[in-house]
Structure 1
Amino acid sequence: MKKPPLIWLNLSLFILTFGGAVTLVPWRELTHGFDAVEWLTFVLLAFFSGLSITGGYHRLWSHKTYKANAAVRFFYALGGALALQNSALHWSSDHRVHHKHVDDNDKDPYSAKMGFWYSHIGWMLREYQAHRYHDYSNVRDLQNDAIVMWQHKHYLLLTVLMNIGLPAFLGWLNGDVLSMVLLAGLARLVVVHHCTFFINSLAHIWGSQPYTDKNTARDNPLLAFLTYGEGYHNFHHIFENDYRNGIHWWDYDPTKWLIKSLSWLGMAKDLRKVPQERIESAKLQMQLKRSQHKLAGRKDAEELIEKLQLEYERLKQQLMAYYEAKKELLEARRAHLCVNELLPRVAELKARLKLQQQNWNSLTAACR
């Protein structure tokens, strides 16, 4: 088959920026060096541009996991231009198609099943799906956002101002324009580009699948560190409307922390979270599936599978009862009602759930 035509603008951009980053930045370091202010600016602009993609383009505009005021959306629009990953309108359109048709080689813009190179960067170098650049019917809601449309209309100008003008101005303030442009402008851009692209490539190849195996998405704490919390990708693909990717307090997810902080400041609201019982149920179902798979071929497989299924139903029933009681307790507290009668019941259900989980863990361990 004849390959689609190259997108020369994208190809030139990636070659020039990557080539410049791996040659000019080391040259400047060896011949002149970078000072602490330039390195600090590199880090700050990396977080500004990266979080504008993860918190703005991704969790706000693509998935509507929360609402943000105009000031936050304006800064996301500027940071998105600094990240140089197309406008929020176009990025969100691509991403919604990806979630709707994940792993479909014909419809997913960056299907992981097409290989690492394709999902990482190759999909942006050729016109595999030319309609992507003019069909925005799946983001009509975003077309009602004046800031999104302002950024889309003036995107090229904004990218020049943010990627060249801003680092040059900061360099002038610091007394060295060239060093700041090379480090905080060029090197920062390339690092943020490829860390973001890892979500489309590595996060569909490397990691675990604790919640679902219906697609290639994986959870990977290392990738979460490189991508501002986006590396918990298996969770995200099954629960895409949750404002969190790392659901535990210890999970490295600065995007989650940013959104929560904005809500405390009154700049974000309506943060969406998946009920915990749905999360636990998804994990439980995957554990059942893996245990059944490991039993295949054993002589006692039929008996053990029957026990597994029975224990699974018991644990799931206990899980639902516990979380239903917790929800009832929370609603009573919000209504300022007396909760003394509810507390013992919740405690009892929690104890039963713990015992049932121990039984389940023992049984699944025996299946290994």
Structure 2
Amino acid sequence: MQRKPPLIWLNITLFTLTFAIALLWVPWHGYHHGFDKVEWLSFILLALFSGLSITAGYHRLWSHKSYKASRGVKIIYALGGALALQNSALHWCSDHRVHHKYVDDNDKDPYSAKRGFWYSHIGWMLREYQVTKPEYLNARDLQNDPIVMWQHRHYLALVVVMNILLPLTLGWLNGDILSMLLLAGVMRLVLVHHCTFFINSLAHIWGKQPYTDKNTARDNGLLALLTYGEGYHNFHHIFEHDYRNGIHWWQYDPTKWLIQLLSWCRLTWDLRQVPQERIETARLNMQLKQVSHRLTRFPNCEELQQHLQLEYEQLKTAITAYYQAQKKLLEAKHKHLCDQQLISQVALLKRQLSNRIKHWQQFTARYS
């Protein structure tokens, strides 16, 4: 029988103590003493600050290089990351890049969802599963980032400043240090911990797979509400360098909105987006696979499969034709060339694509 790695008592103590305080002491204190508006506002603002520093900073900026940011924004992310208490950006991003490279490999993925909910949520941090000291060979670019390395070298000091001195100072200014430490300190920390941990656990277990089934990642709108927009995880795992997770305007993705807002202020730039044609093609390929599997239950399966393949080819051709023409039109506009014939062609191809999508939806709906 294989021996389990040694326990990491520091992490166990931290997670157990903070969770117990959040579960027992905070409600008791709130019931008997209450929390005022300033304490609740501090709780909300610090939760947003620390959570978005992980999702917009650690994740989309430093792990995946999905956009570029100013020095000031990076410093804020570094401070917010220390407030979130999820290790330094260098360590976090190195682990995350390994996760994407070896996703669902129980031997190489540091928080493989195939080892179960508990392991991928928090268990991987409770034992010495990383037997060798990390060298961060997959994060050489981050080792050349002075702000990442500043945070890495002074991480423990920053953790103390952001998680103890900051709420303590806010409490002193508000006239109630204990209440501020409990709500904006401990309760906020536990909430952000487990909401962001859901990205590694529930986002690989619960939801749909509209873009790929080559890994366990799922899209889940409800999880997006809890994870600062990171719940559209199936999209993320196939298009990891896109600065968005929720690609539609109606999808809840405050991390994307923050990055966009900062770009309007010229504090972020070079926001990377996957071409829409690739997104549509990935979605179409998954629909083909799913419907094709369902058709095996029908006695005239072979005939239906041929019809499905024909509809698929026609829709794929329409997608390619439309987006190629649209690309030409954008290039012409960029050169300040007005080609009425090209504009008419794009409009026609868009109508044809819309009709083909309706045909596809009608056909696949019969076998859903």
Q: Could you state the TM-score of these two structures normalised by the residue count of structure 1?
A: 0.98
Kindly provide the CA deviation profile for residues 322-343 of structure 1, in whole angstroms up to 9, marking residues without a partner as x: 0111111111112111132211
The answer for the alignment partner of 2:67 in structure 1 is: 66
Aligned partners of 1:333 and 1:169: how far apart in 2? 55
The alpha carbon displacement at 1:367 in A equals 2.8
TM superposition shift of 1:135: 2.3
CA distance, structure 2, for counterparts of residue 306 and residue 341 of structure 1: 36
In structure 2, the partner of 1:232 is 232
- Paired residue for 1:334? 334
State the match for 2:79 in structure 1: 78
How far apart are residue 27 of structure 1 and its match? 2.1
Aligned to 1:56: 57
1:212 CA drift (Å): 0.6
User: Which residue does the alignment assign to 2:306?
Assistant: 306
The aligned amino acid for 1:181 is L
How many residues align structurally? 367
Q: Which position in structure 1 is the counterpart of 2:156?
A: 156
Counterpart amino acid of residue 287 in structure 1: Q
The residue correspondences of 1:1-368 to structure 2 (distance < 5 A) are 1-131=2-132, 133-368=133-368
Give the letter aligned to residue 269 of structure 2. K
114-123 or 7-16, which deviates more: 7-16
- Once residues 57 and 24 of structure 1 are traced to their aligned partners in structure 2, the CA distance between those partners, rounded to angstroms, is 31
Counterparts of 1:129 and 1:339, CA distance in 2: 59
Write out per-residue CA displacement over residues 208-248 of structure 1, whole angstroms, 9 at most, x where no aligned residue. 11111111000011110111100000000000000000000
Give the secondary-structure state (helix, strand or coil) at the position aligned to 1:141: helix
Distance 2:310 2:295 in 1: 16
Residue 296 (structure 1) shift: 1.0
- Aligned-pair distance for 1:366? 2.8
What letter matches 1:239 in structure 2? Answer: F
Distance in 1 between residues matched to 2:365 and 2:258, nearest whole Å? 39
Q: Deviation at 1:351?
A: 1.1
Moved more, 34-43 or 301-310: 301-310
Question: What residue ranges of structure 2 are gaps of 5+ in the alignment?
Answer: none
Instruction: Give the letter for the 2:298 counterpart.
Output: R
CA deviations on 1:341-365 (whole Å, 9 max, x unpaired) are: 2111011101111111122112212
Alignment deviations for residues 169-205 of structure 1 (CA, whole Å, 9 cap, x no partner): 1111111111101100000000000000000000011
Distance 1:366 1:169 in 2: 62
Q: Give me the whole-angstrom Cα distance separating, in 2, the residues matched to 1:297 and 1:335.
A: 54
Secondary structure of the residue aligned to 1:199 is coil
Deviation at 1:129, TM superposition (A): 2.1
Residue identity in the other structure for 1:65? S
Q: CA deviation at 1:31?
A: 2.1
Measured against aligned partners, the alpha-carbon deviations of 1:111-170 in whole angstroms (never above 9, x if no partner) come to 000000000000000011223x42200000000000000000000110010001000111
Q: What per-residue deviation string (whole Å, max 9, x for no partner) do you get for residues 57-77 of structure 1?
A: 000000000000100000000
SS of equivalent to 1:161: helix
Alignment identity in percent? 70
Partner Cα separation in structure 2 for residue 292 and residue 66 of structure 1: 38
1:215 is aligned with what amino acid? N
Measure, in 2, the Cα distance between the counterparts of 1:19 and 1:69.
39
Letter in 2 for 1:111: S
